[in-house]
Amino acid sequence: IVKNQQGKPSFHLRPPHNWINDPNGPVYYKGFYHLFYQYNPKGAVFKKPIVWGHSVSRDLTNWIHLNNALVPTDPFDINSCYSGSTTILPGNKPVVLYTGLDANNQQVQNLAKPKNLSDPFLKEWIKYSGNPLMTPPKGVTPDNFRDPTTAWKGKDGNWRVAVGGLRGNLGVAILYRSKDFVHWILHDDPLYFGMNTGIWECPDFYPVSVNSRHGLDNSVNGKNIKYVLKASFQSHDYYAIGSYDSNKDKFVPESKGLTGSTSDWRYDYGKFYASKTFYDSVKKRRILWGWINESDSSSDDIKKGWAGIQSIPRQVYLSDAGRQLVQWPIEETEKLREKHVTYSNKKLKGKSLFEVTGITASQVDIQLSFNLPKIEEAEVFDPKWDDPQTLCSTKTASASGRAGPFGLLVMASQDLTEQTAVFFRVFKDNHKFIVLMCSDQSRSSLREGIDKTTYGAFIHMDHEDDMISLRSLVDHSVVESFGADGRACITARVYPHFHVKKEAHLYVFNNGSNDVVIKTLDAWNMKKTKGN
Ligand code: DQQ
Protein backbone atom coordinates (compact mmCIF):
# COMPACT_ATOMS: atom_id res chain seq x y z
CA ILE A 1 0.00 0.00 0.00
CA VAL A 2 1.28 3.45 -0.77
CA LYS A 3 0.85 5.38 2.41
CA ASN A 4 0.50 9.10 2.46
CA GLN A 5 3.32 9.48 0.00
CA GLN A 6 3.17 13.22 -0.02
CA GLY A 7 3.56 13.65 3.73
CA LYS A 8 0.12 15.18 3.86
CA PRO A 9 -1.00 15.89 7.42
CA SER A 10 -3.91 13.97 8.96
CA PHE A 11 -4.83 16.26 11.84
CA HIS A 12 -3.42 19.65 10.86
CA LEU A 13 -5.63 22.13 9.02
CA ARG A 14 -5.14 22.80 5.34
CA PRO A 15 -7.46 22.68 2.32
CA PRO A 16 -7.16 19.67 -0.04
CA HIS A 17 -5.14 21.41 -2.74
CA ASN A 18 -2.84 24.30 -3.53
CA TRP A 19 -0.77 26.85 -1.70
CA ILE A 20 -1.64 28.39 1.67
CA ASN A 21 0.25 30.75 3.93
CA ASP A 22 -0.70 33.12 6.78
CA PRO A 23 -3.69 32.42 9.03
CA ASN A 24 -6.12 35.33 8.72
CA GLY A 25 -9.02 36.69 10.76
CA PRO A 26 -9.59 33.83 13.24
CA VAL A 27 -12.85 34.32 15.11
CA TYR A 28 -15.62 32.46 16.93
CA TYR A 29 -19.12 33.22 15.73
CA LYS A 30 -22.46 31.58 16.54
CA GLY A 31 -21.21 28.07 17.23
CA PHE A 32 -18.36 27.99 14.72
CA TYR A 33 -14.69 28.76 14.76
CA HIS A 34 -13.57 30.42 11.54
CA LEU A 35 -10.12 30.40 10.09
CA PHE A 36 -9.30 32.26 6.90
CA TYR A 37 -5.88 31.96 5.30
CA GLN A 38 -3.83 33.24 2.42
CA TYR A 39 -4.60 30.94 -0.50
CA ASN A 40 -3.63 30.57 -4.16
CA PRO A 41 -6.63 28.78 -5.72
CA LYS A 42 -4.66 28.08 -8.89
CA GLY A 43 -1.60 26.20 -7.71
CA ALA A 44 0.85 25.01 -5.08
CA VAL A 45 3.11 28.07 -5.24
CA PHE A 46 2.81 31.59 -3.88
CA LYS A 47 1.51 33.63 -6.79
CA LYS A 48 -0.75 36.63 -7.04
CA PRO A 49 -3.67 37.07 -6.97
CA ILE A 50 -3.85 35.67 -3.44
CA VAL A 51 -7.33 35.25 -1.93
CA TRP A 52 -8.77 34.46 1.52
CA GLY A 53 -9.53 30.76 1.83
CA HIS A 54 -12.06 29.91 4.53
CA SER A 55 -12.67 26.89 6.79
CA VAL A 56 -15.05 26.49 9.71
CA SER A 57 -15.18 24.11 12.65
CA ARG A 58 -17.21 23.43 15.76
CA ASP A 59 -14.27 21.98 17.67
CA LEU A 60 -11.10 23.45 16.10
CA THR A 61 -10.07 19.99 14.95
CA ASN A 62 -12.59 18.88 12.30
CA TRP A 63 -13.02 21.36 9.47
CA ILE A 64 -15.39 22.18 6.65
CA HIS A 65 -13.74 23.96 3.75
CA LEU A 66 -15.94 26.70 2.33
CA ASN A 67 -15.69 28.88 -0.75
CA ASN A 68 -13.13 31.64 -0.73
CA ALA A 69 -14.30 34.49 1.48
CA LEU A 70 -12.43 37.39 -0.10
CA VAL A 71 -11.22 37.47 -3.68
CA PRO A 72 -9.91 40.41 -5.72
CA THR A 73 -12.84 42.31 -7.26
CA ASP A 74 -12.28 46.06 -6.99
CA PRO A 75 -9.52 48.58 -7.73
CA PHE A 76 -8.63 48.61 -4.01
CA ASP A 77 -7.79 44.87 -3.94
CA ILE A 78 -7.66 43.80 -7.59
CA ASN A 79 -4.14 42.34 -7.30
CA SER A 80 -4.62 40.36 -4.05
CA CYS A 81 -6.35 40.15 -0.71
CA TYR A 82 -3.43 40.00 1.72
CA SER A 83 -3.46 39.32 5.44
CA GLY A 84 -5.77 40.84 8.01
CA SER A 85 -7.82 40.30 11.15
CA THR A 86 -11.35 40.16 12.48
CA THR A 87 -12.77 42.48 15.12
CA ILE A 88 -16.13 41.90 16.77
CA LEU A 89 -18.05 45.18 16.91
CA PRO A 90 -20.69 45.79 19.60
CA GLY A 91 -23.80 43.69 19.02
CA ASN A 92 -21.69 40.65 18.07
CA LYS A 93 -20.95 41.97 14.58
CA PRO A 94 -17.70 40.66 13.14
CA VAL A 95 -15.89 42.79 10.57
CA VAL A 96 -12.61 42.22 8.76
CA LEU A 97 -9.76 44.61 8.06
CA TYR A 98 -7.41 43.29 5.38
CA THR A 99 -4.70 44.50 3.06
CA GLY A 100 -5.56 44.97 -0.58
CA LEU A 101 -3.04 45.18 -3.37
CA ASP A 102 -4.63 47.90 -5.45
CA ALA A 103 -4.50 48.47 -9.18
CA ASN A 104 -1.01 49.97 -8.81
CA ASN A 105 0.10 47.16 -6.50
CA GLN A 106 0.07 49.64 -3.67
CA GLN A 107 -0.79 48.18 -0.24
CA VAL A 108 -3.95 49.66 1.28
CA GLN A 109 -6.22 48.65 4.18
CA ASN A 110 -9.82 47.67 3.47
CA LEU A 111 -12.97 46.82 5.40
CA ALA A 112 -15.37 43.94 4.73
CA LYS A 113 -18.55 42.88 6.55
CA PRO A 114 -20.59 39.68 6.47
CA LYS A 115 -23.52 39.88 4.08
CA ASN A 116 -25.80 37.97 6.38
CA LEU A 117 -25.23 37.99 10.13
CA SER A 118 -27.71 35.18 10.62
CA ASP A 119 -25.43 32.82 8.66
CA PRO A 120 -23.11 31.19 11.23
CA PHE A 121 -20.83 30.15 8.34
CA LEU A 122 -20.28 33.80 7.38
CA LYS A 123 -20.03 32.62 3.81
CA GLU A 124 -20.46 35.89 1.98
CA TRP A 125 -18.58 39.09 2.61
CA ILE A 126 -19.34 42.58 1.35
CA LYS A 127 -16.56 45.06 0.87
CA TYR A 128 -17.16 48.59 2.08
CA SER A 129 -17.78 50.92 -0.85
CA GLY A 130 -15.54 53.61 0.63
CA ASN A 131 -12.43 51.40 0.57
CA PRO A 132 -9.55 51.87 0.99
CA LEU A 133 -9.66 53.16 4.56
CA MET A 134 -5.93 53.68 4.85
CA THR A 135 -3.21 54.31 2.29
CA PRO A 136 0.56 54.29 2.91
CA PRO A 137 1.40 57.25 5.18
CA LYS A 138 4.32 59.62 4.64
CA GLY A 139 7.66 57.89 4.98
CA VAL A 140 6.22 54.43 4.24
CA THR A 141 6.68 53.11 0.71
CA PRO A 142 3.60 51.58 -1.03
CA ASP A 143 4.94 48.04 -0.69
CA ASN A 144 5.67 48.25 3.04
CA PHE A 145 2.26 48.78 4.61
CA ARG A 146 0.18 45.76 5.50
CA ASP A 147 -1.51 43.26 7.83
CA PRO A 148 -3.89 45.13 10.18
CA THR A 149 -4.37 43.66 13.68
CA THR A 150 -7.62 42.99 15.47
CA ALA A 151 -8.74 46.43 16.67
CA TRP A 152 -9.15 47.31 20.35
CA LYS A 153 -11.14 49.98 22.12
CA GLY A 154 -9.35 52.46 24.36
CA LYS A 155 -10.70 53.97 27.58
CA ASP A 156 -11.93 56.95 25.53
CA GLY A 157 -14.20 54.64 23.58
CA ASN A 158 -12.29 55.04 20.32
CA TRP A 159 -10.93 52.16 18.28
CA ARG A 160 -7.25 51.51 17.68
CA VAL A 161 -5.59 49.29 15.14
CA ALA A 162 -1.96 48.60 14.28
CA VAL A 163 -0.67 48.00 10.74
CA GLY A 164 2.73 46.46 9.97
CA GLY A 165 5.27 48.43 8.01
CA LEU A 166 8.73 49.78 7.38
CA ARG A 167 9.61 53.41 7.94
CA GLY A 168 13.20 54.24 7.06
CA ASN A 169 15.25 51.65 8.95
CA LEU A 170 12.48 50.96 11.46
CA GLY A 171 10.13 48.01 11.45
CA VAL A 172 6.91 49.53 12.79
CA ALA A 173 3.46 48.78 14.15
CA ILE A 174 1.73 51.87 12.76
CA LEU A 175 -1.17 53.07 14.89
CA TYR A 176 -4.53 54.44 13.75
CA ARG A 177 -7.55 55.60 15.75
CA SER A 178 -11.21 55.79 14.81
CA LYS A 179 -14.56 56.63 16.31
CA ASP A 180 -16.64 54.76 13.76
CA PHE A 181 -14.33 52.04 12.36
CA VAL A 182 -14.48 53.74 8.95
CA HIS A 183 -12.56 56.99 9.34
CA TRP A 184 -9.09 56.23 10.66
CA ILE A 185 -6.64 58.87 11.83
CA LEU A 186 -2.92 58.19 11.79
CA HIS A 187 -1.15 58.55 15.15
CA ASP A 188 2.21 60.31 14.84
CA ASP A 189 4.19 57.66 16.69
CA PRO A 190 4.00 53.94 16.12
CA LEU A 191 2.69 51.64 18.85
CA TYR A 192 6.23 50.25 18.88
CA PHE A 193 9.16 49.75 16.49
CA GLY A 194 12.38 47.80 15.97
CA MET A 195 15.66 49.07 14.53
CA ASN A 196 17.09 47.44 11.40
CA THR A 197 14.66 44.54 11.52
CA GLY A 198 13.22 45.04 8.05
CA ILE A 199 9.47 45.29 7.57
CA TRP A 200 7.21 44.14 10.39
CA GLU A 201 4.58 41.80 8.97
CA CYS A 202 1.46 40.56 10.72
CA PRO A 203 1.77 42.45 14.02
CA ASP A 204 -0.37 41.14 16.87
CA PHE A 205 -1.13 43.03 20.09
CA TYR A 206 -3.11 41.62 23.01
CA PRO A 207 -3.55 41.62 26.77
CA VAL A 208 -2.60 38.62 28.95
CA SER A 209 -3.61 37.96 32.52
CA VAL A 210 -0.85 38.01 35.14
CA ASN A 211 -2.52 35.53 37.48
CA SER A 212 -4.57 33.21 35.31
CA ARG A 213 -4.38 31.12 32.19
CA HIS A 214 -7.63 32.62 30.98
CA GLY A 215 -7.43 34.74 27.89
CA LEU A 216 -8.64 38.33 27.69
CA ASP A 217 -10.63 40.21 25.12
CA ASN A 218 -8.49 42.67 23.14
CA SER A 219 -10.40 45.66 24.51
CA VAL A 220 -10.28 44.68 28.17
CA ASN A 221 -9.36 47.26 30.80
CA GLY A 222 -8.29 46.48 34.33
CA LYS A 223 -5.63 45.35 36.71
CA ASN A 224 -3.17 42.47 36.63
CA ILE A 225 -2.75 42.67 32.90
CA LYS A 226 0.36 42.70 30.76
CA TYR A 227 0.52 43.11 26.98
CA VAL A 228 2.14 41.09 24.24
CA LEU A 229 3.38 42.60 21.01
CA LYS A 230 4.36 40.20 18.27
CA ALA A 231 5.88 41.02 14.90
CA SER A 232 6.94 38.77 12.03
CA PHE A 233 10.27 39.58 10.39
CA GLN A 234 13.40 37.82 9.14
CA SER A 235 11.41 34.55 8.86
CA HIS A 236 10.50 34.44 12.57
CA ASP A 237 7.74 35.50 14.94
CA TYR A 238 9.24 37.54 17.77
CA TYR A 239 7.34 38.81 20.77
CA ALA A 240 7.89 41.07 23.74
CA ILE A 241 5.97 41.35 27.00
CA GLY A 242 5.30 44.73 28.52
CA SER A 243 2.75 47.32 29.39
CA TYR A 244 0.51 49.54 27.33
CA ASP A 245 0.45 53.24 28.01
CA SER A 246 -3.05 53.96 26.80
CA ASN A 247 -2.68 57.73 27.06
CA LYS A 248 0.26 57.84 24.73
CA ASP A 249 -0.84 54.72 22.86
CA LYS A 250 2.56 53.14 23.27
CA PHE A 251 3.74 49.67 24.08
CA VAL A 252 6.56 49.59 26.66
CA PRO A 253 8.47 46.29 26.77
CA GLU A 254 9.58 45.20 30.22
CA SER A 255 12.91 43.66 29.32
CA LYS A 256 13.54 42.22 25.90
CA GLY A 257 12.41 44.24 22.91
CA LEU A 258 11.94 43.17 19.32
CA THR A 259 15.37 43.27 17.74
CA GLY A 260 15.64 39.99 15.86
CA SER A 261 18.56 38.82 18.00
CA THR A 262 18.92 35.32 19.44
CA SER A 263 18.05 36.69 22.89
CA ASP A 264 14.54 37.82 21.84
CA TRP A 265 11.58 35.63 22.70
CA ARG A 266 10.15 33.63 19.83
CA TYR A 267 6.87 31.76 19.66
CA ASP A 268 8.65 28.91 17.99
CA TYR A 269 12.30 28.22 17.25
CA GLY A 270 11.56 26.21 14.12
CA LYS A 271 9.11 26.93 11.30
CA PHE A 272 6.24 29.14 12.39
CA TYR A 273 5.44 32.48 10.78
CA ALA A 274 2.87 35.22 10.30
CA SER A 275 0.94 33.91 13.28
CA LYS A 276 -2.15 35.44 14.80
CA THR A 277 -4.14 35.05 18.02
CA PHE A 278 -7.82 35.47 18.81
CA TYR A 279 -9.86 35.48 21.98
CA ASP A 280 -12.18 32.49 22.30
CA SER A 281 -15.05 33.83 24.40
CA VAL A 282 -16.59 30.37 24.79
CA LYS A 283 -13.67 28.80 26.61
CA LYS A 284 -12.16 32.07 27.78
CA ARG A 285 -8.76 31.48 26.29
CA ARG A 286 -6.43 33.04 23.76
CA ILE A 287 -5.57 30.84 20.82
CA LEU A 288 -2.57 31.16 18.52
CA TRP A 289 -2.38 29.96 14.93
CA GLY A 290 0.78 29.99 12.80
CA TRP A 291 1.75 29.17 9.24
CA ILE A 292 4.20 26.27 8.84
CA ASN A 293 5.76 26.33 5.39
CA GLU A 294 7.31 23.45 3.46
CA SER A 295 10.98 22.50 3.61
CA ASP A 296 10.97 20.72 0.25
CA SER A 297 11.40 22.48 -3.08
CA SER A 298 8.79 24.37 -4.98
CA SER A 299 8.93 21.78 -7.77
CA ASP A 300 8.21 19.09 -5.14
CA ASP A 301 5.20 21.15 -4.07
CA ILE A 302 3.93 21.43 -7.62
CA LYS A 303 4.18 17.63 -7.91
CA LYS A 304 2.37 17.17 -4.59
CA GLY A 305 -0.23 19.75 -5.53
CA TRP A 306 -0.18 21.38 -2.11
CA ALA A 307 2.04 23.48 0.14
CA GLY A 308 1.72 24.94 3.63
CA ILE A 309 0.05 23.85 6.87
CA GLN A 310 -1.62 25.69 9.72
CA SER A 311 -0.18 24.79 13.11
CA ILE A 312 -2.18 22.97 15.76
CA PRO A 313 -4.02 25.81 17.52
CA ARG A 314 -2.14 26.64 20.72
CA GLN A 315 -3.48 28.16 23.89
CA VAL A 316 -1.18 30.98 25.02
CA TYR A 317 -0.77 32.43 28.49
CA LEU A 318 1.83 34.01 30.70
CA SER A 319 4.21 31.66 32.54
CA ASP A 320 4.06 31.53 36.33
CA ALA A 321 7.05 33.81 36.66
CA GLY A 322 5.40 36.13 34.14
CA ARG A 323 8.56 36.56 32.11
CA GLN A 324 7.52 34.69 29.00
CA LEU A 325 4.59 33.08 27.23
CA VAL A 326 3.74 29.44 27.44
CA GLN A 327 2.01 27.60 24.59
CA TRP A 328 0.11 24.35 24.74
CA PRO A 329 -1.94 22.52 22.10
CA ILE A 330 -5.60 23.32 22.74
CA GLU A 331 -7.36 20.68 24.84
CA GLU A 332 -9.50 19.59 21.87
CA THR A 333 -6.35 18.00 20.44
CA GLU A 334 -6.63 15.36 23.17
CA LYS A 335 -10.01 14.23 21.75
CA LEU A 336 -8.11 12.92 18.73
CA ARG A 337 -6.16 10.47 20.82
CA GLU A 338 -7.08 6.83 20.38
CA LYS A 339 -4.80 3.84 20.93
CA HIS A 340 -2.60 4.45 23.97
CA VAL A 341 0.70 3.06 25.22
CA THR A 342 2.23 4.04 28.52
CA TYR A 343 5.38 3.51 30.61
CA SER A 344 6.51 4.86 33.92
CA ASN A 345 9.72 4.95 35.93
CA LYS A 346 11.73 3.44 33.15
CA LYS A 347 15.46 3.81 33.43
CA LEU A 348 17.23 4.76 30.24
CA LYS A 349 20.87 3.88 30.71
CA GLY A 350 23.60 5.97 29.17
CA LYS A 351 23.99 5.31 25.43
CA SER A 352 20.77 3.39 25.03
CA LEU A 353 17.67 3.40 22.92
CA PHE A 354 14.24 1.81 23.11
CA GLU A 355 11.40 1.61 20.67
CA VAL A 356 7.86 2.70 21.49
CA THR A 357 5.77 0.07 19.75
CA GLY A 358 2.06 -0.57 19.42
CA ILE A 359 1.15 2.80 17.92
CA THR A 360 1.22 4.36 14.46
CA ALA A 361 4.40 6.40 14.73
CA SER A 362 3.60 8.71 11.81
CA GLN A 363 0.43 10.02 13.46
CA VAL A 364 1.08 10.33 17.14
CA ASP A 365 0.90 12.53 20.20
CA ILE A 366 3.70 11.61 22.61
CA GLN A 367 4.33 13.14 25.99
CA LEU A 368 7.20 12.32 28.36
CA SER A 369 8.77 13.57 31.54
CA PHE A 370 12.43 12.96 32.23
CA ASN A 371 14.29 13.02 35.48
CA LEU A 372 18.08 13.12 35.79
CA PRO A 373 19.32 11.39 38.93
CA LYS A 374 22.80 12.94 38.87
CA ILE A 375 21.99 16.32 37.43
CA GLU A 376 24.74 18.03 39.44
CA GLU A 377 27.23 16.25 37.19
CA ALA A 378 25.98 18.17 34.16
CA GLU A 379 28.57 20.06 32.16
CA VAL A 380 29.04 23.76 32.82
CA PHE A 381 27.38 26.22 30.48
CA ASP A 382 29.73 28.45 28.53
CA PRO A 383 28.40 32.04 28.57
CA LYS A 384 29.79 32.53 25.07
CA TRP A 385 27.06 30.25 23.76
CA ASP A 386 24.46 32.78 22.73
CA ASP A 387 22.85 31.04 19.78
CA PRO A 388 21.00 27.81 20.63
CA GLN A 389 20.50 26.91 16.97
CA THR A 390 24.26 26.95 16.31
CA LEU A 391 24.86 24.98 19.49
CA CYS A 392 22.37 22.30 18.43
CA SER A 393 24.11 22.02 15.06
CA THR A 394 27.45 21.24 16.71
CA LYS A 395 26.23 19.31 19.73
CA THR A 396 24.09 16.93 17.72
CA ALA A 397 22.08 13.93 18.91
CA SER A 398 25.09 11.67 18.37
CA ALA A 399 27.54 13.89 20.31
CA SER A 400 27.57 12.31 23.75
CA GLY A 401 27.60 14.54 26.80
CA ARG A 402 27.01 13.92 30.48
CA ALA A 403 23.41 15.02 30.99
CA GLY A 404 22.12 14.30 27.53
CA PRO A 405 21.44 14.33 24.71
CA PHE A 406 18.22 12.46 25.48
CA GLY A 407 14.83 12.61 23.81
CA LEU A 408 12.93 11.22 20.83
CA LEU A 409 13.71 9.89 17.41
CA VAL A 410 10.56 10.50 15.38
CA MET A 411 9.64 9.57 11.82
CA ALA A 412 12.51 7.08 11.93
CA SER A 413 13.14 4.22 9.53
CA GLN A 414 13.73 0.88 11.19
CA ASP A 415 17.43 0.96 10.35
CA LEU A 416 17.64 4.57 11.62
CA THR A 417 19.17 5.83 8.39
CA GLU A 418 16.35 8.33 8.46
CA GLN A 419 15.36 9.96 11.76
CA THR A 420 14.50 13.31 13.28
CA ALA A 421 15.89 13.82 16.77
CA VAL A 422 14.04 16.03 19.25
CA PHE A 423 16.11 16.20 22.40
CA PHE A 424 17.51 17.97 25.44
CA ARG A 425 20.96 18.56 26.85
CA VAL A 426 21.31 19.96 30.36
CA PHE A 427 24.03 22.40 31.49
CA LYS A 428 24.88 23.82 34.88
CA ASP A 429 24.82 27.58 35.16
CA ASN A 430 25.86 28.62 38.68
CA HIS A 431 23.06 27.29 40.86
CA LYS A 432 20.60 26.94 38.02
CA PHE A 433 20.31 24.80 34.95
CA ILE A 434 20.04 25.70 31.31
CA VAL A 435 18.41 23.16 29.05
CA LEU A 436 19.22 23.17 25.38
CA MET A 437 16.27 21.89 23.34
CA CYS A 438 17.04 20.79 19.78
CA SER A 439 15.18 19.51 16.76
CA ASP A 440 17.71 17.97 14.39
CA GLN A 441 16.47 17.45 10.84
CA SER A 442 19.93 16.77 9.35
CA ARG A 443 19.16 13.05 9.01
CA SER A 444 15.41 13.40 8.53
CA SER A 445 15.50 12.26 4.92
CA LEU A 446 17.80 10.57 2.43
CA ARG A 447 16.25 12.78 -0.22
CA GLU A 448 18.14 15.79 -1.45
CA GLY A 449 16.94 19.31 -2.12
CA ILE A 450 15.25 19.59 1.27
CA ASP A 451 16.01 22.23 3.90
CA LYS A 452 17.32 20.16 6.83
CA THR A 453 18.35 23.01 9.13
CA THR A 454 18.68 22.09 12.81
CA TYR A 455 16.72 24.27 15.27
CA GLY A 456 17.41 25.07 18.91
CA ALA A 457 16.13 26.93 21.96
CA PHE A 458 17.33 27.62 25.50
CA ILE A 459 15.09 26.89 28.47
CA HIS A 460 16.09 28.38 31.82
CA MET A 461 15.19 26.05 34.67
CA ASP A 462 14.84 26.88 38.32
CA HIS A 463 16.68 24.79 40.85
CA GLU A 464 13.42 23.27 42.05
CA ASP A 465 12.66 21.84 38.59
CA ASP A 466 13.93 18.29 38.77
CA MET A 467 11.90 17.16 35.80
CA ILE A 468 11.77 18.21 32.20
CA SER A 469 8.89 17.39 29.90
CA LEU A 470 8.61 16.95 26.17
CA ARG A 471 5.53 16.64 24.00
CA SER A 472 5.66 16.09 20.25
CA LEU A 473 2.79 16.04 17.80
CA VAL A 474 3.94 14.01 14.85
CA ASP A 475 1.74 14.24 11.74
CA HIS A 476 3.57 12.71 8.77
CA SER A 477 5.68 15.61 7.52
CA VAL A 478 5.18 17.96 10.47
CA VAL A 479 6.59 17.64 13.99
CA GLU A 480 5.50 20.21 16.56
CA SER A 481 7.44 19.89 19.81
CA PHE A 482 6.75 21.55 23.16
CA GLY A 483 9.57 21.57 25.72
CA ALA A 484 9.25 22.15 29.48
CA ASP A 485 5.44 22.33 29.47
CA GLY A 486 5.39 24.69 26.49
CA ARG A 487 8.11 27.12 27.49
CA ALA A 488 9.97 26.45 24.23
CA CYS A 489 8.37 25.23 21.00
CA ILE A 490 10.06 23.93 17.88
CA THR A 491 8.21 23.02 14.71
CA ALA A 492 9.91 21.09 11.92
CA ARG A 493 9.04 19.65 8.51
CA VAL A 494 10.41 16.24 7.53
CA TYR A 495 10.09 14.16 4.37
CA PRO A 496 11.57 10.71 4.99
CA HIS A 497 12.00 8.59 1.91
CA PHE A 498 10.96 5.32 3.58
CA HIS A 499 7.59 6.77 4.46
CA VAL A 500 6.37 6.18 0.93
CA LYS A 501 6.00 2.45 1.50
CA LYS A 502 6.77 1.62 5.11
CA GLU A 503 5.55 2.56 8.51
CA ALA A 504 7.50 4.96 10.69
CA HIS A 505 9.19 4.06 13.97
CA LEU A 506 9.41 5.96 17.22
CA TYR A 507 12.27 5.68 19.72
CA VAL A 508 13.34 7.22 22.99
CA PHE A 509 17.11 7.61 23.32
CA ASN A 510 19.74 8.66 25.78
CA ASN A 511 23.11 9.39 24.29
CA GLY A 512 24.58 10.91 27.41
CA SER A 513 26.93 9.01 29.69
CA ASN A 514 24.64 9.42 32.71
CA ASP A 515 21.37 7.55 33.17
CA VAL A 516 18.04 9.25 32.64
CA VAL A 517 14.72 8.15 34.13
CA ILE A 518 11.57 8.36 32.08
CA LYS A 519 9.11 9.20 34.85
CA THR A 520 6.15 8.93 32.50
CA LEU A 521 5.64 8.25 28.83
CA ASP A 522 2.27 8.34 27.10
CA ALA A 523 1.79 7.97 23.39
CA TRP A 524 -1.44 7.92 21.45
CA ASN A 525 -2.40 7.27 17.88
CA MET A 526 -4.08 10.35 16.51
CA LYS A 527 -7.30 10.22 14.54
CA LYS A 528 -7.50 11.67 11.09
CA THR A 529 -9.70 14.74 11.28
CA LYS A 530 -12.56 15.75 8.99
CA GLY A 531 -11.36 18.04 6.26
CA ASN A 532 -8.17 16.02 5.80
N1 DQQ B 1 1.98 37.25 3.74
C2 DQQ B 1 0.93 38.08 3.20
C3 DQQ B 1 1.26 39.47 3.61
C4 DQQ B 1 2.12 39.26 4.80
C5 DQQ B 1 2.93 38.07 4.44
C6 DQQ B 1 0.87 37.85 1.73
C7 DQQ B 1 3.53 37.37 5.62
O8 DQQ B 1 0.10 40.20 3.91
O9 DQQ B 1 2.89 40.39 5.10
O10 DQQ B 1 0.50 36.53 1.47
O11 DQQ B 1 3.81 36.03 5.37
**Spacing, Cα 385 to ligand 1 middle (Å):** 33
Q: Is the dihedral of CA 172, 291, 493, 280 positive or negative?
A: positive
Cα 245 to Cα 242: distance, rounded to the nearest angstrom: 10
Count CA within 13 A, CB hemisphere, residue 36.
29
The enclosing domain of 501 has a CATH number of 2.60.120.560
**End position of a domain, from candidates 283, 305, 329:** 329
Terminal-residue alpha carbon distance, the chain: 19
Q: CB within 6 Å of ligand 1 — which residues? A: 21-22, 38, 50, 82-83, 99, 146-147, 201-202, 273-274
Range of the domain at 236: 19-329
Phi and psi angles of residue 59, each rounded to the nearest 5 degrees, phi first? -130, 10
Q: 371 with 324, same domain?
A: no
Q: 382 with 419, same domain?
A: yes
Q: 118 with 231, same domain?
A: yes
**End position of a domain, from candidates 329, 348, 375:** 329
**End position of a domain, from candidates 295, 329, 363:** 329
Ligand 1 pocket test, candidate residues 19, 22, 275, most atoms within 8 A of CB: 22
Answer for the pair 66, 37: CB distance below 8 angstroms, yes or no.
no
User: What pLDDT shows up at residue 4?
Assistant: 55
User: What pLDDT shows up at residue 115?
Assistant: 98
Q: 312 with 345, same domain?
A: no
User: What pLDDT shows up at residue 463?
Assistant: 64
| pLDDT in 10s for each residue of the chain, 532 residues | 344 567 999 999 999 999 999 999 999 999 999 999 999 999 999 999 999 999 999 999 999 999 999 999 999 999 999 999 999 999 999 999 999 999 999 999 999 999 999 999 999 999 999 999 999 999 999 999 999 999 999 999 999 999 999 999 999 999 999 999 999 999 999 999 999 999 999 999 999 999 999 999 999 988 999 999 999 999 999 999 999 998 899 999 998 789 999 999 999 999 999 999 999 999 999 999 999 999 999 999 999 999 999 999 999 999 988 999 999 999 999 999 999 999 999 999 999 999 999 999 999 999 999 999 988 899 999 999 999 999 999 999 999 999 999 999 999 999 999 999 999 999 999 889 999 999 999 999 999 999 999 999 999 987 667 799 999 999 999 999 999 999 999 999 999 998 877 889 999 999 999 999 999 999 999 999 999 9
Q: 505 with 445, same domain?
A: yes
> Per the domain annotation, does 467 fall within a domain?
yes
Q: 316 with 429, same domain?
A: no
Q: 299 with 397, same domain?
A: no
> Per the domain annotation, does 7 fall within a domain?
no
Q: 342 with 297, same domain?
A: no
Count CA within 13 A, CB hemisphere, residue 55.
23
Which ipTM was obtained for this model? 0.99
Q: 368 with 309, same domain?
A: no
The single-letter code of the amino acid at 502 is: K
Q: Is the dihedral of CA 520, 525, 527, 528 positive or negative?
A: positive
Q: Is 22 a catalytic residue?
A: yes
Cα 450 to Cα 524: distance, rounded to the nearest angstrom: 29
E strands, 430-499, are 432-440, 455-461, 467-475, 478-483, 488-493
Answer for the pair 131, 100: CB distance below 8 angstroms, yes or no.
yes
Single out the catalytic residue among 22, 77, 300, 475.
22
The domain total for the chain is: 2
The enclosing domain of 291 has a CATH number of 2.115.10.20
Q: 92 with 170, same domain?
A: yes
> Per the domain annotation, does 8 fall within a domain?
no
Q: 403 with 302, same domain?
A: no
Within 365-470, residue ranges assigned H as helices are 388-394
Which atom, in ligand 1's list, is nearest to the CA of 147? 8
Cα 255 to Cα 307: distance, rounded to the nearest angstrom: 37
Cα 381 to Cα 286: distance, rounded to the nearest angstrom: 35
Q: 283 with 411, same domain?
A: no
> Per the domain annotation, does 151 fall within a domain?
yes
**Spacing, Cα 333 to ligand 1 middle (Å):** 27
With DSSP H G I counted as helix, E B as strand and the rest as coil, what are the percentages for the chain, rounded to 5? Answer: 5, 50, 45
